[in-house]
């Protein structure tokens, strides 16, 4: 501390200002480095939220005292706390996905709520709950659900419920499979809603997804191609080994819809099930009557001769037999997705086919072997894919030598310790800039000031070119001793010690003094020579140095005892 005070007092006003400014600069740079090092690594918490949801998340983070950073539509938090924050926010229902749900009904009071108000709130809650359910899928980023429920009336004929779903996928377009699943989900949640009455729209492209059409048949064909290709590759890998066969399979699907209603009646296959026989017999007889005359009306008149009578008989028989005939009625509806035509191409590695027989067989025999192998493999592939010649299916198998395969990849290596800095170049640049500032301040500001201050404070009375030897012989009184010559070190006179006894107690000669004011020159160089010469003398004459120090310690103890 005394040396620092002496150095500080020897500086002029300008150098003191430079030292203060350099100290403050170094302190600020170190503080900035510490702040950057203490700043946690940020990670994405949520992104793509609307203004209301973002406000809820920010309010919750401020309430918990968690630092955050907003970058556009994304909210970043410390990486170590991100997962825990998501769980804590989820328990509070933040962010609210898909809008409000059935909690809307909790705010309705029993008084003052009409049936129309309750119905509107109920359908709003239904839409919100469906949106939440759809958003739980990892493939969906945003969704809106609308349900059209017509109000029933006495004179309304068409009262079908409809719904529409507009969604945005996290990556790519919405697939037909996802659209069909959403269509059935919404239809199952709303009573009386037919899946055909639900429309799914991709918000990015603005087109209707799914339903009956080419999209569904194309997706089905792709899935079928993948399954058949894996089946064929599994067979070929078992025979030729992995990577020795390439399979390409194409399925042409049926894209149109067909409905067939058929009714067949076979008159030859009738069977009597009942017989109804009806017989009818009728008989009629008419007697002859007298002719009516004037005489017959007289009391004594003659009625005349009687007329002859007539007789008739009628018999009728009818038989009705009921027959049952064979009748077949078919109502067949064919939708898109069926296989219309299939083609399979298989390329085999010729070297793998003849790898074990090259040395034993001739060229003709090898060709015959390859031909037989190709025929066997064609039969296997045809049976595996279900080849149908009536549809026009085709299988082509060829054997050719494969070219050299390029390296597919390299082994993964463990990330180095500086991978985090490399991944964040901004932080790396900040560290480098602050380190350069600290290094520049230390080399070009602090070091020159301290060097100049040491040059000003140099002990006076140093003379001669020898440095330390001159000081030792002239001022301190240490005589040069030849190696191996015993002398009484106590007998050596020390003028500085004697002057110190006259002026006051002193342990060592006073070399530095704040009252010395010497002009600047080569004193710094002489001081350096003094120190180096003293070190060299101590290394060369270690035993003498130890004896001198021991005598000084004994003299000090004896003086204290007196």
Question: Which tokens go with 433?
Answer: 């800039």
Average of per-residue pLDDT across 35-49: 77
Q: Token pair 């009687």 is at which residue?
A: 306
Taking only the tens place, the pLDDT of each residue in 356-383 is 666 677 788 888 888 998 999 999 999 9
Answer with the residue of higher pLDDT: 520 or 8: 8
Contact 510, 458 (CB under 8 A): no
Stretch among 45-49, 176-180, 305-309 having the lowest mean pLDDT: 305-309
Contact 247, 230 (CB under 8 A): no
Residues 6+ apart with CB under 8 A from 310: 285, 286, 288
% of the chain exceeding 90 in pLDDT: 7
Is there a contact between 159 and 150 (Cβ–Cβ < 8 Å)? yes
Q: Is the pLDDT of residue 343 over 90?
A: yes
Question: Which of 153-167, 341-355, 416-430, 518-532 has the largest mean confidence?
Answer: 341-355
Smallest Cα–Cα separation from 256: which of 296, 214, 225? 214
Q: 117 in helix, strand or coil?
A: helix
Answer with the residue of higher pLDDT: 235 or 362. 235
Name the strands in the sheet holding 69-71, side by side, starting at the edge strand that comes first in the sequence.
42-47, 74-78, 69-71
Q: Which helix (H) or strand (E) holds 137?
A: none
- Distance separating alpha carbons of residues 507 and 510, to the nearest angstrom: 9
Which tokens belong to 158?
A: 């068409």
For the ranges 157-171, 205-219, 235-249, 426-440, the lowest mean pLDDT is seen at 205-219
What pLDDT shows up at residue 469? 42
pLDDT higher than threshold 90 for residue 555: no
Higher pLDDT, 506 or 461: 461
pLDDT value, residue 319: 87
Determine the average pLDDT of the residues in 293-305. Answer: 59
Query: Among 30-34, 211-215, 232-236, which stretch is predicted with the lowest mean pLDDT?
Result: 211-215
Q: Return the H-helix or E-strand segment holding 234.
A: helix 214-240
Cis peptide before 95 (omega within 30 of 0): yes
What is residue 362's DSSP assignment?
-
pLDDT of 438: 73
pLDDT tens digits along 187-208: 998 888 888 889 999 888 888 8
More confident residue, 356 or 399: 399
Each residue of 471-501: pLDDT tens digit?
A: 444 344 444 444 444 444 344 444 434 433 4
pLDDT of amino acid 395 = 92
Are 384 and 231 contacting, i.e. CB atoms less than 8 angstroms apart?
Answer: yes
Q: What is the mean pLDDT of residues 391-417?
A: 73
pLDDT attached to residue 71? 85
The whole-number pLDDT of residue 532 equals 79
What residue has token string 């109804």? Answer: 276
DSSP 306: B
pLDDT tens digits, residue range 271-294?
788 888 888 887 777 655 555 566
Say if residue 418's pLDDT is above 80. Answer: no
CA distance 60 to 45: 13
pLDDT at residue 304, rounded to an integer: 52
pLDDT of 496 reads: 38
- What is the token pair recorded at 19? 């030292």
| Rounded average pLDDT over 18-35 | 79
Per-residue pLDDT of 75-127, as tens digits, reads 998 888 888 888 888 887 777 665 677 777 777 776 777 778 888 888 888 88
Answer whether 415's CB lies under 8 Å from 365's CB: no
Angstrom distance (rounded) from CA 46 to CA 60: 13
Does pLDDT of 216 surpass 50?
yes
Residue 440 has pLDDT above 80, yes or no: no
| Length of the chain (residues) | 562
3-state secondary structure (DSSP) of residue 349: strand
Q: What number is the average pLDDT over the span 330-338?
A: 81
Of 180, 103, 107, 193, residue with least CA distance to 146: 193
Pick left, alpha or beta for residue 111 (phi over 0 → left; psi -120 to 50 → alpha; otherwise beta): beta
pLDDT-derived band at 521, boundaries 50, 70, 90: very low
**Side-chain-facing half-sphere of 527: CA atoms under 13 Å:** 15
Contacts 24+ apart (CB under 8 A), 133-136: 133/98, 133/185, 134/98, 134/165, 134/167, 134/182, 134/185, 135/97, 135/98, 136/97
DSSP result, 477-544 = -PPP--TT----GGGS--HHHHHHHHH---SS-----TT----SSSHHHHHHHHHHHHHHHHHH-HHH
What was the pLDDT predicted at 523? Answer: 57
Classify 175 as helix, strand or coil: coil
Q: Is the pLDDT of residue 178 over 90?
A: no
């Amino acid at each position: 501390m005394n040396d620092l005070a002496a150095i500080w007092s020897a500086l002029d006003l300008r150098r003191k200002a430079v030292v203060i400014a350099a100290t403050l600069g170094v302190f600020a740079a170190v503080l900035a480095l510490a702040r950057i090092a203490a700043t946690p690594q940020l990670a994405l918490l949520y992104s793509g939220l609307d203004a209301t949801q973002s406000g809820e998340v920010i309010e919750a983070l401020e309430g918990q005292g968690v630092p955050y950073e907003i970058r556009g539509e994304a909210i970043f938090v410390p990486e170590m706390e991100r997962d825990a924050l998501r769980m804590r926010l989820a328990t509070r229902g933040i962010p609210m996905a898909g809008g409000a749900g059935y909690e809307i009904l909790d705010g309705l009071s029993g008084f003052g709520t009409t049936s129309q108000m309750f119905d509107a709130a109920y359908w709003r809650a239904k839409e919100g709950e469906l949106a939440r359910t759809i958003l739980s899928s990892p493939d969906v980023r945003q969704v809106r659900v609308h349900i059209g429920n017509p109000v029933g009336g006495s004179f309304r004929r068409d009262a079908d419920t409809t719904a529409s779903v507009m969604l945005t996928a996290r990556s790519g377009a919405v697939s037909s499979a996802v659209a069909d699943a959403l269509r059935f989900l919404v239809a199952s949640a709303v009573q009386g809603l037919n899946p055909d009455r639900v429309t799914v729209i991709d918000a990015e492209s603005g087109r209707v997804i799914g339903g009956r059409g080419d999209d569904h048949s194309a997706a089905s064909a792709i899935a079928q191609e993948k399954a058949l290709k894996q089946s064929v590759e599994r067979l070929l890998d078992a025979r030729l080994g992995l990577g020795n066969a390439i399979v390409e399979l194409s399925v042409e699907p049926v894209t149109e819809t067909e409905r067939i209603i058929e009714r067949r009646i076979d008159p030859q296959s009738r069977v009597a099930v009942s017989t109804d026989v009806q017989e009818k017999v009728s008989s009629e007889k008419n007697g002859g009557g007298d002719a009516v005359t004037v005489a017959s009306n007289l009391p004594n008149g003659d009625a005349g001769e009687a007329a002859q009578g007539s007789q008739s008989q009628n018999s009728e028989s009818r038989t009705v037999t009921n027959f049952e005939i064979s009748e077949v009625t078919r109502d067949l509806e064919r939708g898109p997705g069926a296989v219309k035509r299939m083609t399979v191409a298989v390329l085999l590695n010729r070297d793998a086919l003849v790898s074990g027989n090259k040395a034993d067989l001739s060229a003709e025999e090898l060709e015959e072997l390859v031909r037989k192998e190709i025929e066997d493999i064609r039969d296997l592939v045809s049976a595996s894919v279900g080849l149908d010649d009536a549809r026009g299916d085709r299988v082509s198998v060829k054997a050719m030598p494969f070219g050299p395969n390029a390296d597919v990849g390299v082994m993964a290596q463990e990330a180095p310790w500086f991978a985090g800095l490399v991944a964040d170049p901004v932080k790396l640049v900040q560290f480098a800039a602050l380190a350069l500032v600290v290094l520049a301040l230390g080399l070009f500001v602090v070091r020159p000031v301290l060097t100049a201050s040491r040059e000003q404070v140099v002990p006076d009375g140093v003379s001669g070119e020898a440095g330390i030897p001159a000081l030792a012989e002239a001022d301190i009184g240490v005589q040069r001793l030849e190696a191996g010559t015993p002398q009484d070190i106590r007998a050596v006179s020390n003028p500085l010690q004697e002057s110190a006894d006259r002026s006051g107690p002193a342990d060592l000669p006073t070399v530095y003094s704040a009252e010395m004011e010497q002009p600047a020159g080569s004193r710094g160089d002489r001081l350096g020579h003094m120190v180096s010469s003293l070190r060299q003398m101590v290394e060369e004459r270690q035993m003498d140095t130890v004896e001198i120090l021991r005598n000084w310690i004994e003299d000090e103890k004896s003086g204290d005892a007196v």
